Structure 1
Amino acid sequence: MVEKVYNMTYGNTKIVEMLISDENVNFIHMIFNKGEGLPEHLSNSNVYMTVIRGTLSIGLDEQEIHEYKQGSVLKIPFKTKMNVGNKHDEILELIVVKAPAPVK
């Protein structure tokens, strides 16, 4: 086989799973219920965030929180302060791609 296959977990409970982490890219799948999210942090690479379902509530740097619905794709620059969460009843599901992959 030439390809390598990765499988996402499907469901409705909180999950943050690193599917691909190599020298090129980090590919992360996340599911959050209402009131869940990530701790506030600085982006450690360029971040491309796709809303698969639900509504993303995100504060970037000193901006107020903006909301993005299913189908939205955000490009967030390196070293941006991020506050990511779900403030809605509907489940939030995201795909996050970090490119280039962060150096640890």
Structure 2
Amino acid sequence: MIEQVFKMNTGNEKTIEKVIQDDNLHFNHMILNKDEGLPEHFSNSNVYMTVLKGVLSIGLNEQEIHQYEAGTILKIPFNTKMNVKNHNEQVLELIVVKAPAPKN
């Protein structure tokens, strides 16, 4: 078999899974319920964030929180302060790709 196969969680419980971590990129899958989120942090690479379902509430650097619905893709530069949350009733599901892969 030439290809590698990876699986992601398909439920609705809080999930933060590192699906692919290699020298080229990091591919992460996240499921967040209402009032769940990530600790505030700085991006350690270029981040490409795809909203699969729900509404993402995100504050970047010092700007106010913006909301993005399913079907939206965000490109967030390296070393940007990120505050990622789900402030809505609907389950939030995200794909987060970091490219190039972070060095740490």
TM over 0.5: yes
Which residue is 2:2 aligned to? 2
* Structure 1 position 57, deviation (Å): 0.0
Which residue is 1:80 aligned to? 80
Name the SS for the 2:94 alignment partner.
strand
Name the SS for the 2:88 alignment partner.
coil
Give TM-score scaled by structure 1 length: 0.99
Q: 4+ runs of 1 displaced by more than 4 Å?
A: none
Code of the aligned partner of 1:76 = I
Q: Residue deviations 1:66-99, cap 9 Å, x none?
A: 0000000000000000000100000000000000
* Structure 1 position 13, deviation (Å): 0.5
Give TM-score scaled by structure 2 length: 0.99
Q: Distance in 2 between matches of 1:2 and 1:19?
A: 18
Q: Distance in 1 between matches of 2:32 and 2:45?
A: 22
- Which runs of 5 or more residues in structure 1 are unaligned? none
Code of the aligned partner of 2:31 = I
Q: Distance in 1 between matches of 2:9 and 2:58?
A: 23
* Structure 1 position 60, deviation (Å): 0.2
Q: Distance in 2 between matches of 1:61 and 1:86?
A: 18
Q: Distance in 2 between matches of 1:9 and 1:67?
A: 24
Q: Distance in 1 between matches of 2:48 and 2:82?
A: 13
- Which runs of 5 or more residues in structure 2 are unaligned? none
Percent identity, aligned pairs only, is 64
Q: Distance in 1 between matches of 2:18 and 2:35?
A: 21
Q: Distance in 2 between matches of 1:74 and 1:61?
A: 15
How many positions carry a matched residue from both structures? 104
